[in-house]
């Protein structure tokens, strides 16, 4: 049976669930298709927490999107009645000229974002869990914090349904084609037509977007929850952090947000191995845990305790580590959002808004030129 919709959204993870909500809230007849269960743990939008921040060391061009995203985080929390995010403050530390520090300062100064710069001794005094090496400094941003990925995805799903969207789970997309007046999407259950298609494939981008020639590499990443020596109480109100060592490796972490038995979540940033969603090793090995403990305990000595829990997720990396968000260059009926390269979740609410703009009008007032896929397309 074929049903007609205004917009079909493929993939209902972070970006897709937000797009489905924004489209439905604007009166569009929306069909969302997801191969797994709501707020699943098979892709990238899971793990209990994701850092949010505004002094963006990746590129100051992201800051206007972040400011709008913060507004939409607050709206989502209000509309859903859930704690989808929390502001804790954030420390971005390392040598004065490292990317984490210099990039954060550059973005904060260019956009007049409130921030402070601390020497190592001041960091260690004000935040006694830390033992920042002498010679390092930290940019402190009071507005940094974390989002709750599973809660966020579920909130967008619930609000999309409340606005009239039809969301089908456990339904795998097999193919899509253009039609005379839109698109046809074929799944393992049925066939659907719509005027517009929004594809948010996450780690499945290389398969679903193969014909776009967008180079995306999938990487396995590992998350760790360590049991602090002395318990979690001292970590409950600490800021999120990103620290860059002398070799350029970044480690990041969060407050203890899941109670005394929940530990403290930490991870390496971009220390992964290439994989596919089918080949990813979901087992976290003892040597990986030992390496994480050895590294992070040099910065936070109490985190030399046992690992309570670990998990894997996937990054979808473009060569320049910037996103892909655009109408398909060869059709006005297809919009893609992919390649979020390990730093996309903080943008989920505003990307949903952008995708709704593009699907409905073909343009957006948000600054997204940086994310044009033509910069990456291999001919």
162-183 pLDDT, tens digit each: 999 999 999 999 999 999 889 9
Neighbours of 172 (CB within 10 A): 12
Residue percentage of the chain with pLDDT more than 90: 92
Residues 268 and 301 in one domain: yes
CATH code: domain of residue 332: 3.50.50.60
Residues 124 and 234 in one domain: yes
Residue 260 is predicted with a pLDDT of 92
Sheet with 50-52, edge to edge strand ranges: 50-52, 145-147, 85-87
Q: Is residue 63 part of a domain?
A: no
Q: How confident is the model at residue 205 (pLDDT cuts 50, 70, 90)?
A: very high
CATH code: domain of residue 287: 3.30.9.10
Is it the case that residue 329 has pLDDT exceeding 80? Answer: no
The mean pLDDT of 108-136, rounded to a whole number, is: 98
Cα–Cα dist 314/46, whole Å: 10
Q: Is residue 57 part of a domain?
A: no
On whether the CB atoms of residues 336 and 326 are closer than 8 A, the answer is yes
Of 268, 255, 265, 264, give the one whose Cα is nearest residue 295.
268
Residues 173 and 286 in one domain: no
Q: Is residue 345 part of a domain?
A: yes
- State the chain's mean pLDDT as an integer: 95
Q: Is residue 162 part of a domain?
A: yes
Residue 288 is predicted with a pLDDT of 97
Residue 379 is predicted with a pLDDT of 37
Is it the case that residue 378 has pLDDT exceeding 60? Answer: no
Q: Is residue 51 part of a domain?
A: no
User: Which tokens is 255 given?
Assistant: 């407050």
The mean pLDDT of 251-272, rounded to a whole number, is: 95
Residues 120 and 242 in one domain: yes
Residues 222 and 210 in one domain: no
Residues 186 and 139 in one domain: no
The three-state secondary structure class of 302 is: helix
Of 78, 31, 97, 100, give the one whose Cα is nearest residue 359.
31
Residues 250 and 308 in one domain: yes
Per the structure, the count of domains in the chain is 2
* Domain around 237: 87-144+217-317
The mean pLDDT of 144-162, rounded to a whole number, is: 98
Residues 289 and 160 in one domain: no
34-78 pLDDT, tens digit each: 999 999 999 999 999 999 999 999 999 999 999 999 999 999 999
Q: Is residue 62 part of a domain?
A: no
Residues 185 and 252 in one domain: no
Q: How confident is the model at residue 23 (pLDDT cuts 50, 70, 90)?
A: very high
Q: Is residue 30 part of a domain?
A: yes
């Amino acid at each position: 049976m074929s049903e007609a919709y205004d917009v079909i959204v493929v993939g209902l993870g972070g970006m897709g669930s937000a797009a489905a909500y924004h489209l439905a809230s604007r009166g569009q007849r929306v069909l969302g298709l997801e191969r797994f269960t709501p707020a699943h743990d098979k892709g990238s939008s899971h793990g209990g927490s994701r850092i949010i921040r505004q002094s963006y060391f990746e590129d100051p061009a992201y800051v206007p999107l972040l400011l709008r995203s913060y507004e939409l985080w607050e709206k989502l929390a209000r509309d859903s009645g859930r704690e989808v995010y929390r502001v804790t403050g954030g420390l971005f530390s390392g040598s004065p000229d490292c990317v984490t520090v210099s990039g954060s300062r550059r973005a904060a100064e260019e956009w007049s974002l409130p921030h402070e710069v601390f020497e190592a001794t001041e960091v260690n005094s004000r935040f006694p869990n830390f033992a920042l090496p002498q010679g390092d400094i930290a940019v402190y941003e009071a507005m940094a914090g974390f989002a709750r990925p599973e809660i966020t995805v579920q909130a967008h799903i619930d609000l999309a349904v409340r606005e009239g969207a039809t969301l089908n789970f456990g339904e795998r997309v097999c193919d899509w084609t253009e039609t005379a007046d839109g698109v046809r999407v074929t799944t393992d259950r049925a066939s659907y037509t719509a005027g517009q298609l929004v594809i948010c494939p996450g780690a499945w981008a290389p398969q679903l977007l193969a014909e776009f020639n967008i180079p995306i590499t999938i990487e396995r990443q590992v998350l760790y929850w360590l049991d602090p020596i002395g318990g979690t109480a001292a970590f409950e109100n600490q800021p999120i952090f990103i620290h860059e060592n002398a070799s350029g490796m970044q480690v990041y972490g969060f407050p203890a947000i899941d109670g005394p038995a929940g530990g403290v979540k930490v991870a390496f940033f971009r220390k992964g191995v290439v994989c596919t969603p089918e080949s990813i090793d979901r087992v976290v090995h003892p040597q990986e845990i030992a390496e994480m403990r050895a590294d992070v305990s040099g910065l936070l000595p109490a985190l030399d305790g046992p690992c309570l829990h670990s998990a894997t997720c996937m990054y979808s990396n473009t060569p320049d580590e910037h996103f892909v968000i655009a109408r398909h260059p060869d059709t006005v009926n297809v919009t893609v959002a992919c390649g979020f390269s390990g730093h996309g979740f903080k943008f989920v609410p505003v990307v949903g808004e952008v995708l709704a703009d593009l699907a409905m009008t073909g343009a957006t007032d948000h600054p997204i030129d940086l994310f044009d896929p033509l910069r990456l397309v291999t001919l």
